[in-house]
Amino acid sequence: MFSLEGKNSIVTGGGSGIGRAIAEALATQGAVVDILEVDLDGAAETISAIEVAGGTAAAHECDVTDQGATLAVFEKIVGERERLDCLINNAGVAHVGNVLDTTEEDFDRVMGVNAKGVFNCLKAGVTHMQAGGGAIVNIASTVSVSAINDRFAYSTSKGAVLAMTYSVAKDYLEQNIRCNAILPGRIHTPFVDGFIAKNYPGREEEMFKKLSEYQPVGRMGKPEEVAAMAVFLCSDEAAFITGCPYLVDGGTINIR
């Protein structure tokens, strides 16, 4: 079950955190993985881990906010691989702030990567999936359906990702393109450690404990747990699933 043998996949932001875990999980299940990244050093580390484990992967420098560049990279990849079966829209940036202390530059940056970047990749991905179908997984967030303090721009962008998920799922039913979203809660990645160190110097252990206990299960999620959901949604076992948001949040939304 959940074999992706023979499938070609593209993962954006696969150089670190959740994106790296997804890229490695897809490769473990047999998929060929092409990573789109602005951080080629991080992408190279992911590629190395995949190849050591016997998988096949390649990295491509790409700023997903640039539509022309994004379309060209997809064209190149699909030209080499011959088709695209799975697309994971994971690339994103974070921002802390409410509506008053979010600047126009902050808002444009977050929306540019998190919303426009997903739009650009959806346009490219759907273009190449129309002939043979495929599975798209968008990484949204629990903040796309529920508010937390000081995440105005980030929540707005992730709400857009969820809306795009529904639209693509509806519009491309006849082309056998499935589009779903994963809504992670707080996941322990290097970004979280950096955020704590930057904003709470000297209180790292205290804040890590506090942020972990926010989830009803009493800990943060692991990138591999989000990756497992992505593998499932890309697999043939999920063939009857489209237009759905999947919480991977330790019970935060429904039972907190």
Query: Mind telling me the catalytic residues?
Result: 154
Dihedral in degrees, nearest 10, Cα atoms 125, 128, 134, 135? 0
Q: Is 248 left (phi over 0), alpha (psi -120 to 50) or beta?
A: beta
Sign of CA dihedral 198, 200, 204, 207: negative
Q: Which tokens in the block code for residue 92?
A: 């994103």
From the CB of residue 206, how many other CB atoms can be counted at a distance below 10 Å?
11
**Other Cβ atoms within 10 Å of 120 Cβ, number:** 24
Using alpha carbons, select from 160, 181, 67 the residue that is nearest to residue 121.
67
Contacts (Cβ under 8 Å, ≥6 apart) of 23: 11, 14, 33, 35, 46, 50, 57
Measured at the CA of 171, the angle between CA 233 and CA 30, to 5 degrees, comes to 25
3-state secondary structure of 15: coil
CA angle centred on 49, ends 181 and 142, rounded to 5°: 20
Q: Cα 32 from chain centroid?
A: 17
